Amino acid sequence: MITNLLVANRGEIALRVFRTCRQQGIGTVAVYSDADADSPHVEAADAAVRLPGATPADTYLRAEAVVTAALDAGADAVHPGYGFLSENADFARAVSAAGLTWVGPSPDSIERMGSKVESKRLAASVGVPVLAELDPETVTDDEFPVLVKASAGGGGRGMRVVHDRGALAEAVESARAEAGSAFGDPTVFCERYLERGRHVEIQVLADSHGTVWALGERECSIQRRHQKVVEEAPSPAVDPALRERLCEAARTVARAVDYVGAGTVEFLVTPDGEFFFLEMNTRLQVEHPVTECVTGLDLVALQLRIAEGGTLIGEPPRARGHAIEARLYAEDPAADWRPRSGTLHRFAVPEVRAEFTVPDRHGIRLDSGVADGSVIGVHYDPMLAKVVAWGPDRTAAARMLAGALASARIHGLGTNRDLLVAVLRHPEFLAGNTDTGFLVRHRAVTEAPPDETAVRLSAVAAAFADVAHNRARATVLGSLPAAWRNVPSAPQVKTYRHGETEYHVRYTATRSGLVAVDHADVELVAAAPERVVLRRGGVRRAFDVARYPDLVTVDSALGAVNLVPVPRFRDPDTEPATGSLVAPMPGTVVRIAVSVGDRVHAGQPLLWLEAMKMEHRVAVPVDGRVTELAVTEGHQVEQGSVLAVVTPEDEDRSASDTVETAKETP
């Protein structure tokens, strides 16, 4: 019997496992890096053990340190969660060798499924269809497009779609570098890329007595950078006949490696119903909550039962209703999914019926590893939470989830929330027409510009709220109306920046109250420091205003708007030199593609930053010449640090002409 369990992970998956342990009377132990010292999962555990350091390599990926932590804390079992060491056979062996119960499949099963190349060969040997492996060195022209994939690991890391031979060498080099950094194994291979394929996976559970359950399918086709962002169960494209074929293939793969525990067998399904084995994940999946919602099962509880030698009783339950999960990330979809870091000042999702467990009836489930004040760093995946809607049918679940996300209060960091809402409300998604190229095909969803009306009204509301805030704090003549002047004078101005655009709100006081001078169509109904009501075109709307250092967040039915207050007087010494390229995020410079003096063109790679376990390309913004490189490979940079200076072509030519003229002048 398991009495005290260590979770060799962090964030929301640690909290998810703890939730089941509390229900079953099992003690819990957390491990944490220095960066995670204040993380909610540390507070939730009965005991916690520090892993000195901040990076994954120094902390969560140190198998011997995690095993020692389990022994020191008196744990008798280890649950790996997902990611980090969860699919590391040597770690599983080390846990067992220490006399601890390993909550997962055998090291041999992990090893046999750990390589995508070898697992595909094994699947083919038992009659499960696979896509042919292609050698990057011998791919022929008629085999494009191809997908370059890392043999070890997953999560979209080390994966690149290549449409022609000219781009293959760079894609392979980039994928190898990313795979080597993420998994310690730079091996990559190619396979045919099916542009309209669906990513469909089968959840399996197997006990040590020969019973193998296939719990139906999840569709995970909405992906960015080959990583899932929206998952659902069941799939709108799978009928009963295809479901049975997929489930039988998954059971066949599981039996081929004597699988025990929870796992997922992933397939690519074509529009005509063909399917091909992709890989088997020998762990719990990020998206397991949708299966739990439609089956009513607790997959973590079943993992624990199986690890204790228990049996799976009866037949697996059939799906009831429909569940959709959205992964909420701190990232900017319009900037190539660039991750964000910083302080999450506020995080609240409305109408949550359950956390880390199946709701008692249709509603919203929240699995989150963050709270108000959490700091999102650069060392780990930028996922903030999984928001799940379980409804009687797919349309109801999509509507419910979109509403919950749109109404959430997320202050301090930019997220992919607006994109998720747009996907869930998109006609093609609602019609079930999804595949792995959905976000590429519907770029308007990714690159949608901000609602100009929402930003403009939010800026007006922020200005009026700020005036009310200042009046509430006034220690002298605080009873005077806001913006009051004895003698008529020029309007006062407050300026906010949204993206690259500045919004100037000029206002003045009249007998009837504050008036936004340049917004004649907007009438102030009421203003308080945290709430402003405006009327425009006969429609009255409320705006909730929250202020933080260097940030004002305005929430309304029009959407959330983040504004940066612009000071009246700017310090020129803080402005970077003309042509400076600054780091879009904190990270490590892993590769530099140019040298000082090089002529470069807009869009050309300048360098690559590694942050949050992914490589991010920084491109040259204009045609010109590299006149300064401020970093070297291995350099750690903060957001906003100058990386290089590119002198635009016109300025560079003008400077050269000036020099030549000076030389010619006697």
What does the pLDDT look like over 62-74, one tens digit per residue? 999 999 999 999 9
pLDDT of the residue at 656: 56
Contact 283, 80 (CB under 8 A): yes
- How do 501-510 and 513-516 pair as beta strands? antiparallel
Tell me 132's DSSP state. P
- Mean pLDDT over 328-340 rounds to 91
Residue with tokens 């070890």: 152
- Mean pLDDT over 327-341 rounds to 92
pLDDT of the residue at 600: 93
Same fold, 195-320 and 455-566: no
> DSSP 3-state assignment of 392?
coil
Q: Is the pLDDT of residue 425 over 80?
A: yes
Which run of H or of E encompasses 387?
strand 383-391
Q: Give 480's pLDDT tier (boundaries 50, 70, 90).
A: low
* Phi, psi (rounded to 5 degrees) for 622: -140, 160
Q: Spell out the domain ranges in the chain.
A: 4-103, 132-192, 195-320, 321-448, 455-566, 578-661
* Phi, psi (rounded to 5 degrees) for 406: -65, -30
pLDDT of the residue at 655: 55
Q: Is the pLDDT of residue 573 over 90?
A: no
Per the model's pLDDT, the better-predicted residue between 578 and 594 turns out to be: 594
User: 392: how many CB neighbours lie within 10 A of its CB?
Assistant: 11
pLDDT of the residue at 378: 86
Per the model's pLDDT, the better-predicted residue between 517 and 610 turns out to be: 517
pLDDT of the residue at 16: 98
Helices (H) and strands (E) in the chain, counts: 17, 40
> DSSP 3-state assignment of 233?
strand
The count of C-alpha atoms lying within 13 angstroms of the C-alpha of 634, restricted to the half-sphere facing its C-beta, is: 0
Per the model's pLDDT, the better-predicted residue between 611 and 420 turns out to be: 420
Contact 373, 394 (CB under 8 A): no
Per residue in 591-618, is it b (16+ CB within 10 Å) or e — as a string?
Answer: bbbbeeebebeeeebbbbbbbbbbbbeb
pLDDT of the residue at 519: 92
Average of per-residue pLDDT values in the chain: 91
Give residues with Cβ within 8 angstroms of 363, minimum separation 6.
351, 352, 353, 354, 389, 390, 400
CATH code that applies to domain 4-103: 3.40.50.20
pLDDT of the residue at 249: 98
In 3D space, the residue among 112, 269, 285, 113 whose CA is nearest the CA of residue 215 turns out to be 285
In 3D space, the residue among 401, 425, 410 whose CA is nearest the CA of residue 325 turns out to be 401
What share of the chain in percent tops pLDDT 90? Answer: 72
Rounded to whole angstroms, how far apart are CA atoms 631 and 395? 50
CATH code that applies to domain 321-448: 3.30.470.20
For the record, the structure tokens of 597 come out as: 């003096």
Which run of H or of E encompasses 522?
strand 522-528
pLDDT of the residue at 468: 93
Which run of H or of E encompasses 146?
strand 146-150
Among 198-207, 342-351, 510-519, 649-658, where is mean pLDDT lowest?
649-658
CATH code that applies to domain 455-566: 3.30.700.30
- Please give the model's pTM, rounded to 2 decimal places: 0.88
Q: Is the pLDDT of residue 307 over 50?
A: yes
- Mean pLDDT over 310-326 rounds to 96
* Phi, psi (rounded to 5 degrees) for 65: -70, -35
Q: Give 51's pLDDT tier (boundaries 50, 70, 90).
A: very high
pLDDT of the residue at 109: 97
Output the CA angle 256-262-267, nearest 5 degrees.
Answer: 60
Q: Is the pLDDT of residue 163 over 70?
A: yes
- The domain 578-661 is placed in CATH, from the list 1.10.1370.10, 2.40.50.100, 1.10.3720.10, 3.40.50.300, at 2.40.50.100
Rounded to whole angstroms, how far apart are CA atoms 207 and 303? 9
Q: Is the pLDDT of residue 337 over 80?
A: yes
Q: Give 353's pLDDT tier (boundaries 50, 70, 90).
A: very high
The CATH architecture annotation of domain 195-320 reads 2-Layer Sandwich (3.30)
- The domain 132-192 is placed in CATH, from the list 3.30.70.600, 3.10.580.10, 3.30.1490.20, 3.40.50.2300, at 3.30.1490.20
3-state per-residue secondary structure call for 540-600 = EEEEEEEEECCEEEEECCCCCEEEEEECCCCCHHHCCCCCEEECCCCEEEEEECCCCCCEE
pLDDT of the residue at 616: 82
Q: Is the pLDDT of residue 657 over 70?
A: no
- Mean pLDDT over 422-430 rounds to 97
In 3D space, the residue among 518, 522, 519 whose CA is nearest the CA of residue 537 turns out to be 522
DSSP string, 283-336: S--TTHHHHHHHH---HHHHHHHHHTT----SPPPPP-SEEEEEEEESEEGGGT
Rounded to whole angstroms, how far apart are CA atoms 274 and 245? 10
pLDDT of the residue at 156: 74
pLDDT of the residue at 568: 79
pLDDT of the residue at 313: 92
Give residues with Cβ within 8 angstroms of 501, minimum separation 6.
455
- Mean pLDDT over 525-547 rounds to 97
pLDDT of the residue at 580: 81
Dihedral sign, CA of 483, 484, 485, 488?
positive
Rounded to whole angstroms, how far apart are CA atoms 628 and 444? 36
pLDDT of the residue at 653: 61
What does the pLDDT look like over 164-190, one tens digit per residue? 988 999 899 988 888 887 777 888 889
Q: Give 659's pLDDT tier (boundaries 50, 70, 90).
A: very low
User: 165: how many CB neighbours lie within 10 A of its CB?
Assistant: 13
User: 506: how many CB neighbours lie within 10 A of its CB?
Assistant: 16
* Phi, psi (rounded to 5 degrees) for 557: -65, -15
pLDDT of the residue at 209: 97
What does the pLDDT look like over 375-401, one tens digit per residue? 999 889 999 999 999 999 999 999 999
Q: Is the pLDDT of residue 222 over 60?
A: yes
